[in-house]
Structure 1
Amino acid sequence: MFDTTPFRLVAATGIHRGDRLYQQDQVVVLTHGRFNGCLMAVVADGMGGKSGGRKAADQVILTARQVFERYVPTQDPTDHTLDQLVNESHLMIRLTAMAFEEEPHSTIGAFIVNPDRSAYVVHVGDTRVYHFNGPDLAHRTIDHSFVQKLVEEGQITEEEANVHPQSNLLTACLGAQTEPPCPIHRIGHLEVGDTLLVCSDGLWHYFTPKELGAIVHTLPPREAAEMLVTKARHRARGGGDNLSLALVRVEALA
């Protein structure tokens, strides 16, 4: 039996250039103009030089706005919106590469929350989406990366993957020569107290899932976002990548 408590969605975002010269991450939370309790959150981590990576990330956000504007919650987003978001972003980034003779690429992590509290998650690359029940990890996306393959093969541990010299080598991204995968995860019903967090590797690299869960559960979303950015910057010790996040928590109406 699903929890039918009246609810609201509370969202926050955070973004920081880190110690890089250029900001190539982009993040957005979109609320639906026609359906209350419906939103989309997207993080794009651009790659490909100072302008190429940012163009790629910008294209992901532009595409997200376009496809979500057409979205109707009664549709299955696995058949329409999320597939379109991945495939249209990939196509437009490829066209940008041809037009400007650059090599723009981007990761993506995104989720849609529906008015009935069902949710759908998609990702390409190593931008992650976490689902927490209270402070406890319920699900996270699995990176499309070289070190993730080593973890799956049992050659290294998750902890070793974080410090591996090739930890940033991706096996899939938007804008590459090969078509991107489109793994979609469905959450049947978000409970009051659940949190969805999408973030780039410049953030999650510095936290265990247990730490992330404790922070997003204990603090209000805006304060949690500020805490995550601050701690990531401190732990980077002057060598941090661009970082970005969006989090959405389901709260009971007072």
Structure 2
Amino acid sequence: MATSTKGYRITASTGIHKGDREYQQDQIELLSHPRVNGCMLGVVADGMGGRSGGRKASDQVMMTARQLFERYSPDHDDPPSVLKQILMEAHLVIKLTAISSEQEPHSTLAAFLINPNGECYWIHAGDSRIYHYHSNKLVKRTMDHSYVQTLVDRGELTEEEANVHPQSNILMGCLGAEEDPPGDIHFIEELRPGDTLLACSDGVWHYFSPAELGSVLSSLSPREATEFLIEKARSRAHGGGDNLSLVIVKVEPLGG
């Protein structure tokens, strides 16, 4: 996907792979606004809970995101409110699904909304991540709502130790749980040429350092980077890999 606006162009790509799991419970979307050029929404949802429970949960996230983004007006609506609405409505629908089924469906959420003027807002819950790079340098990333992240925050684990910790899959916040999900919002005043956004599930980020991701994202096109990261994560998983999903959006100078 490519779109140009305000002196730069945006190129983008999505990728999804089942990994070594029997079922695909991740879901991704990269939506262009139906009426407003240069406005887009990227969403990653990593579903959990039984064979079909996780897929039902991530389906609900995508359905909610599509419906609310379709109604979104960049001129009149408040982006953080819309992102929080996606989070809470999907959370409630997932909880209702749980009542009518045997499974316990849950899902993560990582979503970013880009306005035509280059403003970007993101929200996340769980351990799906969003990274913002400028060239190959990490500007900011989301912090996981997970047990090991709380240990890192307290200085009891390093990032590297957290990655291989036996309880690294325990989430402290997600959609569909008893408690309302955390919804951390971040604001980027203006995306500029050289900026890249990566949203991905833990099946991807688990296998790369921030420096490796920066190097790949800055040197390859979104399509090439998507294929490379999936292939490399698959080989590093040695047959034990999770579902993988990612959305890459790259801001490039016109004529670049």
Give yes or no for contact 1:12–1:221 (8 Å, CA) kept in 2.
Answer: yes
TM-score normalized by the length of structure 1: 0.97
Distance of 2:176 and 2:190 partners within structure 1: 33
Query: What is aligned with 1:175?
Result: 176
- Give the drift of 1:172: 0.4
- Give the drift of 1:5: 5.9
Distance of 2:234 and 2:125 partners within structure 1: 25
Give yes or no for contact 1:40–1:113 (8 Å, CA) kept in 2.
Answer: yes
Unaligned runs of 5+ in 2: none
Query: What is aligned with 1:155?
Result: 156
Distance of 2:25 and 2:80 partners within structure 1: 27
Query: What is aligned with 1:48?
Result: 49
Could you tell which deviates more after superposition, 99-108 or 153-162?
A: 99-108
Distance of 1:182 and 1:20 partners within structure 2: 28
Code of the aligned partner of 1:224 = A
Code of the aligned partner of 2:152 = V
TM-score normalized by the length of structure 2: 0.96
Could you tell which deviates more after superposition, 33-42 or 66-75?
A: 66-75
Distance of 1:37 and 1:8 partners within structure 2: 9
What are the Cα deviations for residues 107-157 of structure 1, in whole angstroms up to 9, with x where unaligned?
Answer: 010101111101001000000000001110000000000000000000010
Code of the aligned partner of 1:199 = C
RMSD: 1.0
Unaligned runs of 5+ in 1: none
Query: What is aligned with 1:136?
Result: 137
Query: What is aligned with 1:14?
Result: 15
Give yes or no for contact 1:5–1:252 (8 Å, CA) kept in 2.
Answer: no
1:78 is paired with a residue whose SS is helix
Distance of 1:209 and 1:113 partners within structure 2: 23
Distance of 2:62 and 2:150 partners within structure 1: 28
Give yes or no for contact 2:6–2:117 (8 Å, CA) kept in 1.
Answer: no
Of the three residues 78, 81, 86, the one matched with 2:80 is: 78
* 1:1-254 equivalence runs, <5 A: 6-74=7-75, 75-79=77-81, 81-254=82-255
Distance of 2:74 and 2:131 partners within structure 1: 22
Code of the aligned partner of 2:107 = S
- Give the drift of 1:76: 2.0
Code of the aligned partner of 2:216 = I
- Give the drift of 1:101: 3.1
Q: Which of structure 1's runs of 4+ aligned residues deviate more than 3 A?
A: none
